[in-house]
Structure 1
Amino acid sequence: MTSTRSRALRAAVELVGSEGVRALTHGRVDAAASLPPGSTSNHFRTRAALVAGVIEWIAAAERADAGVPEITTREQLIAALSRMIEAQSGPLAARTRARYALFLEADEDATRPLVAQRDVFEDWVRAILRDLGGTRAEQRAVFLMATAEGLLLHRLTVDPDAPVDDVIARAVDAALAR
């Protein structure tokens, strides 16, 4: 059985992901999670604590979902990044929208888990690019990540069916170019 805290956090992510940060109230989370009134506030006394809890839950869920594969070829990198974008803009879209909304709304201390998560991902991309294309490629990690993030945002906001593989292949090729 799922704990009250977990139910509240899942519901909070769905609320923020579908209705925005303003929907994040203790009462709305209780209702969305089908919990008795006051349940969420038992775990998160203030709205700031609730926001921090949601952010930490998102970061933990992303780490658990990562299943970071070993990448040794250009094709594997394209496939891995494409799958990540498709998942984050498809079945995990609400969580992705919530992450973006909370990044914009929360203070620097609260977003620290998400920033740390991104730093780990950037280190992973840098290492792969270095292994596949050397130091010059490693220096293009931010370019590759920005392209992937832009495509993800485009799929979330404009065109959920925008092609992924071709865009990512071009970005990977540009990052690996000599």
Structure 2
Amino acid sequence: MAASTRERALEAAVELLGAEGVRALSHARVDERAGLPAGSTSNWFRTRRALLGGVVDWIAERERAELDPAGAPAISGPDDLVDALCAGIVLQTGPFATRTRARYALFLELAGDPELGRPLRHQRQEFERWTERVVTDIGIPDPAPATRALMALADGLLLHRLTVDPDLDLRPAVERAVRALAGA
């Protein structure tokens, strides 16, 4: 089934954001990138703010669908957690790199707009809650600060792979952090 005009516009908007940043986002550029007739994107999103909101919602929806913890392998110990974190970072900096760049661009752009950035922050909080449950379940002491440390490490590794070294070997840093937090 062919993607709807709305879907094509949102996919193109994410590509623009991920490749060229927030300043590149305009209705006309989205139409052009999506191969849509002029004015198509503005039929769905009348203002730039509405377009930004649509992109934020679209990214959050995709991430919820694709990163559903219910479908993930069970994590029963530190080694499984290392594997899961590394796999997630590889996905976000590989097949989903454009979307990850777009998400970071939106986080920065919308830092002063709590309403518009809410879906992205909510998605982030859901992932933090899931991570804290996993950290708790595998017996890592002080789960809340341990989770914050792992999330900060993951953010740093994501940014490093997206901006400096796309082939960075993640495992040594993730393994060292998880083992230190687990007290092993």
Instruction: Note if 1:56 corresponds to 2:57.
Output: yes
Identity of aligned residues (%): 53
**Offset of 1:67 from its aligned partner?**
3.3
* d(CA) in 1 for partners of 2:175, 2:46: 46
Task: Give the AA of the match of 2:160.
Answer: H
**Structure 2 unmatched runs, 5+:** none
Which residue in 2 is equivalent to 1:72? 76
**Offset of 1:175 from its aligned partner?**
2.0
Q: Which moved more, 1:106-115 or 1:44-53?
A: 106-115
* d(CA) in 2 for partners of 1:91, 1:136: 33
Which residue in 2 is equivalent to 1:85? 89
What is the 5 A alignment of 1:100-115? 100-106=104-110, 107-115=113-121
**Offset of 1:138 from its aligned partner?**
4.1
**Offset of 1:131 from its aligned partner?**
1.3
* d(CA) in 1 for partners of 2:175, 2:133: 18
Task: Give the AA of the match of 1:93.
Answer: A
- Over the residues paired in the alignment, what is the CA RMSD in angstroms? 1.2
Contact 2:92–2:158 (CA<8 Å) still a contact in 1?
yes
* d(CA) in 2 for partners of 1:41, 1:98: 20
* d(CA) in 2 for partners of 1:167, 1:135: 19
Please give the per-residue CA displacement for 1:43-78, whole angstroms capped at 9, x wherever unaligned. 000000000000110111111110322321212111
Task: Give the AA of the match of 1:63.
Answer: R
Which 4+ residue blocks in structure 1 deviate beyond 6 angstroms? none
Q: What secondary structure is seen at the aligned counterpart in 2 of 1:50?
A: helix
Choose from 167, 178, 182 the match for 1:176.
182
Choose from 155, 158, 175 the match for 2:161.
155
Q: What secondary structure is seen at the aligned counterpart in 1 of 2:76?
A: coil
**Offset of 1:151 from its aligned partner?**
0.6
**Offset of 1:174 from its aligned partner?**
2.0
When the two structures are aligned, how many residues end up with a matched partner? 178
**Offset of 1:168 from its aligned partner?**
1.0
Instruction: Note if 1:123 corresponds to 2:124.
Output: no
**Offset of 1:176 from its aligned partner?**
1.5
Please give the per-residue CA displacement for 1:135-164, whole angstroms capped at 9, x wherever unaligned. 424431100110011011000011101111
Contact 1:126–1:139 (CA<8 Å) still a contact in 2?
no
Q: What secondary structure is seen at the aligned counterpart in 1 of 2:138?
A: helix
* d(CA) in 1 for partners of 2:141, 2:179: 15
Contact 1:9–1:57 (CA<8 Å) still a contact in 2?
yes
**Offset of 1:173 from its aligned partner?**
1.2
Instruction: Note if 1:98 corresponds to 2:105.
Output: no
* d(CA) in 2 for partners of 1:29, 1:86: 28
Q: What secondary structure is seen at the aligned counterpart in 2 of 1:37?
A: coil
* d(CA) in 2 for partners of 1:86, 1:122: 18
**Offset of 1:166 from its aligned partner?**
1.5
**Offset of 1:87 from its aligned partner?**
0.9
Q: Which moved more, 1:112-121 or 1:138-147?
A: 138-147
